[in-house]
Amino acid sequence: MPVGRLTTKSKFHIDVAYWEKQGRNFRQEVYDALCQECKSMYSLEDVREVDYVDPVTGQVTRIDALLDCASAVCSNAPDFINPKMPLTRSIFRAFIAAGNLPQSAEEIYAHINKGSPQIILKELLSVQMESEGVTSV
């Protein structure tokens, strides 16, 4: 994590390499979160990458097809992030819904509408989120 004071505007993402080092399967977590429509289009073993075009900058990057489907399809489902879901799960799904692109606590709050940006920042800095490989960028 970079040195300095992190704020609600600091950007975070899920460090997939961290998951691999811990012997955990990030793709399995993403697959488990997918809606039925995406699960019918992709299998866990399907490791294709697709082009993602940032709607703001127009920059094209390659992302995992599972993350792309979660971002384009699942994130629009009303139950993908719901009020009964624990905050940490909602935050995790917000990262998935954004294709794991870096987001601030303020951006996550706008997406999940749960807690507050300050509470989300506190969660992002917590030991539990650290164990999920969430790091600042």
DSSP per-residue string spanning 3-65 = SS---TT-EEEE-HHHHHHTT--HHHHHHHHS-HHHHHH--TT---EEEEE-TTT--EEEEEH
Mean pLDDT, rounded, for 9-19: 92
The confidence score (pLDDT) of residue 1 equals 44
Q: Say whether pLDDT at 73 is over 80.
A: yes
Structure tokens at 48: 């294709």
pTM (two decimals): 0.84
Mean pLDDT, rounded, for 89-106: 93
pLDDT band at 99 (very low <50, low <70, confident <90, very high): confident
Structure tokens at 124: 């992002």
Q: Say whether pLDDT at 3 is over 60.
A: no
Q: How far apart are CA 113 and CA 117, in angstroms?
A: 9
Q: Say whether pLDDT at 54 is over 90.
A: no
Q: Say whether pLDDT at 15 is over 70.
A: yes
Structure tokens at 3: 């040195």
The confidence score (pLDDT) of residue 129 equals 64
Q: How far apart are CA 56 and CA 58, in angstroms?
A: 6
- Segment 109-137, tens digit of pLDDT: 999 999 999 999 999 988 656 666 677 77
